[in-house]
Amino acid sequence: MKPKDLRTELLPVWCTGCGDFGVLKGLTQALSDLEIAPEKLAVISGIGCSSRLPGYVKAYSFNTIHGRALPIASGLKTARPELTTVVVGGDGDGFSIGLGHLPHAIRRDINLTYIVMDNGIYGLTKGQASPTTELESKRTRGLAGGDEQPLNPVLLVLSAGCGFVARTHAGNMPHMREMMKQAIEYPGFSFVHVLAGCVTYQPRNYSDQLLQRSYELPAEYDKSDLGAAITAVRDGRFALGVIYKRPLEEVAATAGATADEDWTPPDAVLKQDLPTE
């Protein structure tokens, strides 16, 4: 299937220039590369501009409750482990109201791919500071929370023990396609941090600012070294690429029963909504 065949007929309601368009494109490209058919795919989100993405992908998709995409997806994946399950959402959804679920999803290591479109703002509710809004920007724009330090989400997932952690920029299509592909292929919980622009509630050149602070991890970078990963995400710049990937032999040893792909659901469940042709 071509990437465009993985799109529904719904037209995105995002603003022209929104980083979320790139993510939609990158995700459908990665799914197409991996030959994942719509009937083998579930895309789950919470609430936010970014969380509208499932409606635009041809899949079993579910726009759920603000902050609750991870536990809902965990239940779905447990019942239907044969479905590739991608969870998408924003920085507010994932790092504010829903943050409590993140370390637990990581600990459980259910085979989900969690893509966060981090635009550093609550977009849908019209531009309040999010946990990743920079201090400086809150102060100059007079947003509430000007004295609150921003969160480093990548450091957080690394310290919670996430087995696959990558970062990409919504304007870099080939890179994003590759990161998403690798994340989906990884056989445990994987996390992709997408630096996404918001043209309406961030400065016009915000996406470029993010890019200027970014650099691609060099070829010699050892992504199996957790210590190196933690160092790489603490220097105030945005390291792009696979930041950490737990070696697969370790994954097999630690993966819990819930990640068991061989478990088969009862017949009645399997038959219910599979395509008939």
Ligand X SMILES: Cc1ncc(C[n+]2csc(CCOP(=O)(O)OP(=O)(O)O)c2C)c(N)n1
Q: Which residues bind Mg ion (CB under 5 A)?
A: 90-91, 119, 123
Q: How far apart are CA 113 and CA 190, in angstroms?
A: 5
Q: Does 67 bind other proteins (CB under 8 A)?
A: yes
Structural contact between residues 240 and 175, judged by C-beta atoms closer than 8 angstroms: yes
Q: Does 126 bind other proteins (CB under 8 A)?
A: yes
Q: Which does 241 bind (CB under 5 to 8 A by kind): ligand X, other proteins, Mg ion, none?
A: none
Least Å distance, CB 170 to ligand X, is 11
Least Å distance, CB 13 to ligand X, is 11
Q: How far apart are CA 42 and CA 84, in angstroms?
A: 6
Please say which residue, 55 or 187, places its beta carbon nearer to other proteins. Answer: 55
Please say which residue, 39 or 148, places its beta carbon nearer to other proteins. Answer: 148
The footprint of ligand X (CB under 6 A) covers 47-50, 66, 89-93, 117, 119, 121-125, 130
Q: Does 122 bind other proteins (CB under 8 A)?
A: yes
Residue 94: closest CA among 73, 66, 56, 113: 66
Sheet holding 60-63, edge to edge: 60-63, 41-45, 84-90, 112-118, 190-195, 164-169, 238-245, 214-216
232: three-class secondary structure by DSSP: helix
Please say which residue, 66 or 169, places its beta carbon nearer to other proteins. Answer: 66
> Quick count: other Cβ atoms within 10 Å of Cβ 100?
10
Residues that bind other proteins (CB under 8 A): 47, 63, 65-67, 96-97, 99, 122, 124-126, 128-129, 131, 142, 144-145, 148
